[in-house]
Chains A and B, each alone.
Chain A
Amino acid sequence: MSDLAVIGCVSIDNIRVPGKIYKNVFGGSGGYAAVAASFFTKIHLVSNIGTDFPKETLDKLKGLGIDTSGMRVIEGKSTHFDVEYGGELADEYYHAADMNVGNDEIVLPELLDECKFVYISANDPDIQIDIMKRLNKGITIALDTHAMWIESKRDRVLKAFEMADIVFVNSNEAKMFSGKRLIKNAAKTIMKDGIERLVIKKGAHGGILFTSDEMYPMAAYDDLDMLIVDPTGCGDSTAGGFMGTLAANDDAAVKLNNIYKKALVFGMVTASFNLMDYSIHKMLTIDREDIWHRYDLFRDMLRM
Chain B
Amino acid sequence: MKNRLAAVGALSLDTVNFHNGQSIGNVFGGSAGYAAMGASFFTDVLLISNVGRDYPGEFLNNLNSSGIDTTGVEIFENEESTRFSINYDEELVEKEGTLVDLNVLEMGVRLPDGTKEYRYVYVAGNDPTMQLSVLKELKPGQVKAVSTHMHWVKEKPELVREVIRNSDIVFIDEREIRQLTGIKQLKKASSVFFDLGISVLVVKKGEHGALLFQGDRVYPFIAYDRLDMENVDPTGCGGVLVGAFLGFLAKNDDMAEPLNDKYFKALAFGLVVRSFKIEAYSYTRLLDLDREDIWRRYDQFRDILLV
Contact = CB atoms under 8 A, between A and B. Distances in A.
Interface in B160-194: 183-188
Contacts of A299: 307
B265 interface: yes
A184 B187 CA distance: 25
A219 B220 contact: yes
Interface stretch (B108-116, B121-129, B211-219): B211-219
Nearest to A181: B91
B218 A183 contact: no
Nearest to B186: A204
A234 to B, nearest CB: 14
Interface residues of A, number: 38
Interface string A78-103: 00000000011010000000000000
Contacts of B265: 304
B100 to A, nearest CB: 24
A140 to B, nearest CB: 21
Given A183-B207, A210-B227, A302-B306, A222 B222 contact: no
B67 interface: no
A176 B101 CA distance: 37
B205 interface: yes
B268 interface: yes
Interface string A277-304: 0000000000000000000001101111
A51 interface: no
Given A214-B227, A304-B264, A205 B205 contact: yes
B136 interface: no
Contacts of A216: 304
A74 interface: no
Nearest to A221: B220
Contacts of B188: 88
Contact of A88 (B93, B184, B217, B268): B184
Interface in A182-225: 182-185, 188, 202, 204-206, 210, 213-224
Interface of A: 87-88, 90, 180-185, 188, 202, 204-206, 210, 213-224, 228, 258, 261-262, 265, 298-299, 301-304
23 contacts: A181-B89, A182-B91, A182-B207, A183-B207, A183-B208, A185-B91, A202-B208, A206-B222, A219-B220, A220-B220, A222-B187, A224-B213, A224-B216, A224-B218, A258-B307, A265-B307, A301-B219, A302-B305, A302-B306, A302-B307, A304-B264, A304-B298, A304-B305
Interface of B: 89, 91-93, 183-188, 205, 207-209, 213, 216-223, 225-228, 264-265, 268, 298, 301-302, 304-307
Given A206-B222, A221-B220, 4 more contacts: A183-B207, A224-B218, A302-B305, A303-B306
